[in-house]
């Protein structure tokens, strides 16, 4: 019996970051990136469309930032597990993401 793939949506406004995450994740056959999104609008749409298991989301995106994406996903797609990511290492960002419903940062 094969283990089902873990379906992932990536959301980051930097293409190189998304490409790097995709390459790293898809080296493991258990992971499948079903969408990569350059902004919060696309992330919300892709989550509704693909119903992923996991969302990896950057904080600093425009016009909808990662915090707003997390709020929306927790309310409308609560089964999706969310992991925040950012190059910013301020603890308040991690704390806020977890307060909003992310599982990690």
Split into its structural domains, the chain has a count of: 1
CA angle 97, 59, 98 (to 5 degrees): 5
**How would residue 1 be classed by pLDDT, with cut points 50, 70 and 90?**
low
Q: What's the pLDDT tens digit per position in 34-65?
A: 999 999 999 999 999 999 999 999 999 999 99
Would 41 be classed as within a structural domain? yes
CA–chain centroid gap for 19, Å, is 14
In the Cβ-directed half-sphere of 62, how many Cα atoms lie within 13 Å?
0
Burial class (CB in 10 A: 0-12, 13-18, 19+), 32: middle
Threshold 0.95, pTM exceeds: no
The CATH number linked to 64 is 3.40.50.2300
Would 1 be classed as within a structural domain? no
> Do 38 and 64 touch, CB atoms closer than 8 A?
no
Would 77 be classed as within a structural domain? yes
Would 19 be classed as within a structural domain? no
Range of the domain at 89: 37-105
Answer yes or no: is pLDDT of 83 > 80: yes
């Amino acid at each position: 019996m094969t283990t089902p793939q873990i379906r992932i949506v990536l959301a980051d406004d930097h293409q190189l970051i998304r490409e790097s995450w995709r390459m790293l994740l898809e080296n493991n056959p258990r992971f499948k990136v079903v969408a990569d999104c350059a902004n919060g609008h696309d992330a919300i749409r892709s989550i509704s469309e693909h119903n992923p298991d996991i969302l990896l989301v950057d904080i600093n995106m425009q016009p909808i930032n990662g915090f707003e994406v997390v709020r929306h996903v927790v309310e409308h797609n609560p089964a999706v597990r969310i992991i925040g990511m950012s190059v910013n290492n301020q603890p308040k960002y991690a704390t806020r993401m977890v307060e909003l419903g992310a599982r990690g940062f």
